[in-house]
Structure 1
């Protein structure tokens, strides 16, 4: 029965051959199962019962299967065609502003107004950049102040000062 032990070890490691698995099944179906192998008998009995269970056969009727995809397919083709035509119209028809003339190279929209003068657009952009720079600078000031405080709080200097104080107190107490 030492071979059964080896086959069981291999079985639980997943390295048995089909012939060895058949031998195990036959062994556990029989009445000569050793007491130390009795714990595995229900496992192999369950495997045998599972083989006997057959899943119900379910067939999809052919008529329903053939009729459904066809209308769905037509609607997908129609939707794809509409999307393609819309995309072509959007890309091929030039954009026109409110006056009906095609937009030039220097059209900028600010608060809903079209500005075609490059000089005015540049002035407005410079003004906006200056405001943004001011916002960034003022919001960065606390960080600069915190860095200055951090450099003032030199840990080496603080430690040296504390050491001197402690030494001074110890010398007074002695």
Structure 2
């Protein structure tokens, strides 16, 4: 993928909890807001750190600051590199990031109308999290096993994707 980056800055890698991130300089943030015509919600971007690969990422406001999280895919060993000055290039990302319903999950929900009704009424972000998890599984056995776990989770039995219940992480 070739990208002509419009935003370029350097920032020190910081951490909040276990999550490495950089703060966007105010003048670069103004450029982003002007380009996207908003300054609320999440902002999809493409990011390149230290001349590496290009990754989709989301810029979001947390505890009053706009943060660009730097995971270990974007920057290997990022949690151990806190304080490092990073060279960041980014662009807005207008591509659709919708995660399609995995066919096995769709089939499992169709076989269990109660679970399907619950799935249809949970938050879009939790729906996306469940679909993403199932979509990233490799073997038919793990897909089948985890679809069953997802159905049970939706019905209030057991945990799934690091959650003990639908309402709270």
Instruction: Report TM bin, short chain.
Output: under 0.3
Greater share of helix residues, 1 or 2? 1
Higher RCO by CA contacts (8 Å cutoff, separation 6 or greater): 2
Greater share of strand residues, 1 or 2? 2
TM normalised by structure 2 equals: 0.17
Determine which structure has more spread, i.e. the larger CA radius of gyration: 1
